[in-house]
């Protein structure tokens, strides 16, 4: 079985090796990585990884009409790795597949629901938990406080990424789910959530999140380390978003994701395999040098940003802002009702 992970990155050299080592341990066999106008040596690191056969790297320079990630996905649609893949998943550098089924591998997950052709991997939001400084240590070990199951607001807590069988039922990639369903094949698709439950037929052609209020993580979850350390978040704001080049992050993004209610150390099952894979990668002197250069770049860039008042003010506000609290059920239901009412008022295309 060939399982392809597709990734788009900018200035992520400090995090790339952990992400790669983890997903190799999970069972992904191929990696198609696009780099967007990097300043920290991420592109050079990817070139070296490609030379060693660890992944395939494509430079994705701007400008981009629809944003760098959409440009990358359009290129990925036509890539030979896409045609060769049995299963495909589009990921971001802060997303880690965390499989609870069997031995924690893709093979175990697929064996648990062999009828599935699309598995909706629901985010589990991991909060910052008061970590101020960026350090060169595994993200998955540093951040272990997460959102509780069953949280119904914000709705982004139920957003998905889709692991799907590359059988021709969909003709285009999307950020969260495959697009352009083939009308002759779409009726045969079987969508399940991360607990293995069948999802309604509407998921065959739409839907970006799993049903609210349920626990969709019994077989697999997608650990979403969207915030990281406060210093790293400032750099994230400086970088901008991958799918909307002109858009920036702010405190609202932070508040909607900084949930630290529940300890979740389930990623520790991968710790030994990821550490071994990371050591193997860094045994190459050039990879190790480029990784360390990426770490140094982050420290230097943060110091420069602290000379600018807007970034310095943001850093201060992050330290002032406590972790977010899930809304009580009545208030969460009120927000859901407002959202449904707004959707009902929108004109149909």
Average pLDDT of the chain is 94
Token digits of residue 259: 């949930």
**Residue 320: its pLDDT value, please?**
97
Beta bridge partners of 223: 96, 124
Q: Would the pTM of this model clear 0.85, i.e. be above it?
A: yes
pLDDT (tens digit per residue) in 127-182: 999 999 999 999 999 999 999 998 989 988 999 999 999 999 999 999 999 999 99
The total number of residues shown for the chain amounts to 349
Looking at residues 108-120, what average pLDDT do you find?
A: 98
pLDDT (tens digit per residue) in 175-201: 999 999 999 999 999 999 999 999 999
Token digits of residue 319: 């330290």
In this model, does residue 247 exceed pLDDT 70?
Answer: no
Q: Tokens 């997303």, residue?
A: 95
Share of the chain above pLDDT 70, in %: 97
Q: Quick check: 188 and 117 in contact, CB under 8 A? A: yes
**Residue 66: its pLDDT value, please?**
84
Q: Quick check: 10 and 243 in contact, CB under 8 A? A: no
Share of the chain above pLDDT 90, in %: 89
Please name the helix (run of DSSP H) or strand (run of DSSP E) that holds residue 274, with its range, or none: helix 271-282
pLDDT (tens digit per residue) in 270-303: 999 999 999 999 999 999 999 999 999 999 999 9
**Residue 245: its pLDDT value, please?**
43
In this model, does residue 248 exceed pLDDT 90?
Answer: no
Q: How far apart are the first and last CA of the chain?
A: 40
């Amino acid at each position: 079985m060939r399982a392809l992970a597709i990734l788009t990155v900018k200035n992520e050299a400090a995090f790339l090796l952990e992400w790669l080592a983890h997903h190799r341990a999970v069972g992904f066999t191929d990696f198609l990585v696009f780099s967007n106008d990097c300043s920290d040596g991420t592109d050079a690191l990817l070139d070296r990884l490609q030379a060693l056969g660890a992944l395939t790297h494509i430079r994705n320079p701007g400008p981009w009409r629809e944003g760098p990630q959409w440009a990358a996905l359009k290129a990925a649609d036509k890539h030979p790795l896409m045609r060769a893949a049995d299963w495909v998943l589009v990921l971001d550098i802060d997303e880690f597949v965390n499989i609870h089924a069997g031995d924690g591998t893709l093979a175990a997950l697929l064996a648990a629901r062999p009828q599935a052709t699309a598995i909706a991997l629901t985010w589990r939001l991991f909060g910052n938990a008061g970590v101020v400084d960026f350090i060169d240590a595994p993200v998955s070990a540093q951040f272990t406080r997460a959102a509780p199951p069953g949280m119904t607001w914000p709705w982004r807590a139920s957003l998905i990424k889709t692991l799907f069988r590359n059988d021709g039922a969909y003709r285009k990639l999307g950020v969260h789910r495959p697009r352009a369903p083939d009308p002759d094949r779409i009726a045969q698709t079987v969508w399940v959530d991360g607990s293995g439950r069948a999802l309604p037929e509407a998921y065959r052609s739409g839907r970006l999140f799993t049903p609210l209020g349920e626990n969709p993580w019994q077989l697999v979850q997608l650990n979403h380390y969207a915030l990281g350390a406060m210093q790293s978040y400032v750099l994230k704001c400086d970088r901008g978003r991958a799918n909307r080049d002109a858009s920036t992050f702010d405190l609202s993004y932070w508040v909607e994701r900084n949930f630290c209610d529940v300890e979740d150390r389930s990623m520790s099952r991968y710790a030994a395999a990821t550490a071994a894979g990371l050591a193997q990668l860094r045994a190459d002197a050039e990879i190790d040098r480029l990784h360390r250069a990426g770490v140094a770049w982050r420290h230097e860039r943060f110091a420069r940003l602290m000379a600018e008042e807007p970034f310095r003010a943001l850093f201060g506000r992050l330290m002032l802002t406590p972790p977010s609290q899930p809304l009580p059920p009545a208030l969460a239901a009120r927000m859901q009702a407002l959202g449904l009412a707004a959707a009902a008022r929108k004109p149909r295309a």
